């Protein structure tokens, strides 16, 4: 996918949108060479790449550096950069400074969590010529208020509130919305109600597309096995095996061979 227009076109054609996260140049190169439609430089970088317990620890410096690295690796893909924790809640100036930095680092759009209290800001970013992706349901930056990483929108009131938020985000100008960890039926209803595409994670099969954290689909953390992740590789074990093989070759002095050495 080359531009924001492709999102709407794909929904109109009934074609699913695939998105993965990437945070660095080497993985972005592989994603760039794959059929995956677009890349999210998510604030999950703070957990996956920096070892923090939540995305609360991501800041603009962190996100800017990751967006820059990904843009170098996958210049041909549409890149969405995450606005980190509180960067959109301090002031309009801080928000726009953050958007500016992510866009100059190579993002083609930004993603903001939540709706209530920031619809004017979202509309302002959109009016400034920058595509905005929304994010509803389990919004990890609010993990402390949500009481943990839990499925959202289970009660009728909560479902209604997420549906209203989705409509407000569309009205504010979002080009797409991530729906994270909400019941399938609610995700389907939102997807059918909105004109813009939804991209689901842990929200069932009826969204307009799906996103997974790259390291999750590659099986890079054997201890993390949520229900909504499908592993396409046992990456942790495979990489460990390769390292052990190198270690063994070094210790047995079977590496390097003559052909791997300079004369
Ligand atoms: O930061 C992230 O990786 C995300 C996805 C889980 C949607 O926001």
The mean pLDDT of the chain is 97
Q: CA dihedral in degrees (180, 11, 30, 130; nearest 10)?
A: -80
Note the pTM of the prediction, 2 decimals. Answer: 0.96
Q: pLDDT tens across 28-66, in order? A: 999 999 999 999 999 999 999 999 999 999 999 999 999
DSSP character for 57? G
Tokens encoding 229: 């992740």
If pLDDT is split at 50, 70 and 90, which confidence band does 197 have?
A: very high
200 forms beta bridges with 179, 210
Q: How many whole angstroms from 42 Cα to the centroid of ligand 1?
A: 5
Mean pLDDT (whole number) for 116-131: 97
d(CA 63, CA 81): 7
Mean pLDDT (whole number) for 192-209: 98
Give the Cβ contact number of residue 188 at 10 Å.
18
Mean pLDDT (whole number) for 219-241: 96
Mutate which of 40, 113, 214 for ligand 1? The one with the most ligand atoms within 8 Å of its CB, which is: 40
Give the Cβ contact number of residue 148 at 10 Å.
7
* CA-to-CA separations, 45 to 21, 73, 122, 156, 241, in angstroms, rounded: 9, 16, 23, 33, 25
pLDDT score, position 97: 96
Query: For residue 213, which atom of ligand 1 is closest to its CA?
Result: 3
pLDDT > 90? residue 218: yes
pLDDT score, position 100: 98
Closest CA to ligand 1's atom 1:
42
Question: What's the topology of domain 4-232?
Answer: TIM Barrel (3.20.20)
Q: How many whole angstroms from 143 Cα to the centroid of ligand 1?
A: 13
d(CA 210, CA 146): 23
DSSP alpha helices (H): ranges in the chain?
5-13, 25-33, 45-48, 60-73, 92-105, 119-127, 143-146, 156-172, 184-193, 214-217, 235-251
Strand 209-212, strand 198-201: pairing: parallel
- Say which of 64, 170, 180, 188 is annotated catalytic: 180
Rg (CA), the chain: 20
Q: Which residue has the tokens 């060479």?
A: 33
pLDDT score, position 52: 97
Mean pLDDT (whole number) for 211-225: 96
Closest CA to ligand 1's atom 5:
42
pLDDT > 90? residue 88: no
Give the sign of the dihedral formed by CA 12, CA 158, CA 140, CA 151: negative
Are 173 and 195 in contact by the 8 Å Cβ rule? The answer is no
pLDDT > 90? residue 101: yes
Ligand 1 site residues (CB inside 6 A) read 21, 40, 42-44, 82, 135, 178, 180, 201, 211, 213
Mean pLDDT (whole number) for 60-79: 98
Q: How many whole angstroms from 140 Cα to the centroid of ligand 1?
A: 8
pLDDT > 90? residue 115: yes
d(CA 21, CA 7): 17
Query: What residue spans in the chain does CATH classification 3.20.20.60 cover?
Result: 4-232
Does residue 180 carry a catalytic annotation? yes
Mutate which of 55, 63, 66, 114 for ligand 1? The one with the most ligand atoms within 8 Å of its CB, which is: 55
d(CA 180, CA 224): 17
Distance spanning both ends of the chain, measured CA to CA: 47
Q: pLDDT tens across 160-192, in order? A: 999 999 999 999 999 999 999 999 999 999 999
């Amino acid at each position: 996918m080359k531009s924001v227009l492709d999102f709407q076109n794909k929904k109109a054609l009934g074609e699913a949108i695939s998105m993965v996260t990437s945070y660095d140049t080497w993985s972005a190169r592989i994603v760039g060479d794959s059929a995956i439609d677009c890349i999210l430089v998510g604030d999950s970088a703070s957990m996956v790449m920096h070892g923090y317990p939540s995305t609360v620890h991501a800041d603009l410096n962190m996100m800017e550096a990751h967006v820059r690295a990904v843009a170098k690796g996958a210049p041909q893909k549409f890149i969405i950069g995450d606005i980190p924790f509180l960067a959109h809640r301090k002031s309009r100036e801080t928000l726009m400074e953050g958007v500016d930095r992510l866009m100059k680092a190579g993002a083609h759009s930004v993603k903001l969590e939540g709706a209530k209290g920031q619809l004017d800001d979202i509309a302002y970013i959109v009016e400034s010529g920058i595509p905005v992706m929304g994010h509803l349901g389990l919004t990890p930056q609010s993990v402390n208020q949500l009481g943990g990483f839990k499925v959202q929108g289970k009660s009728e009131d909560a479902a209604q509130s997420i549906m209203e938020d989705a409509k407000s985000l569309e009205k504010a100008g979002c080009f797409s919305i991530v729906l994270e960890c909400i019941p399938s039926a609610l995700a389907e209803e939102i997807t059918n109600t909105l004109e813009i595409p939804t991209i689901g994670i842990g929200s069932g099969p009826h969204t307009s597309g799906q996103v997974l954290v790259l390291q999750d689909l590659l099986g890079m953390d054997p201890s993390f096995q949520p229900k909504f992740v499908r592993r396409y590789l046992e990456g942790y074990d495979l990489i460990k095996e390769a390292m052990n093989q190198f270690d063994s070759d070094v210790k047995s002095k079977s590496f390097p061979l003559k052909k791997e050495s300079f004369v």
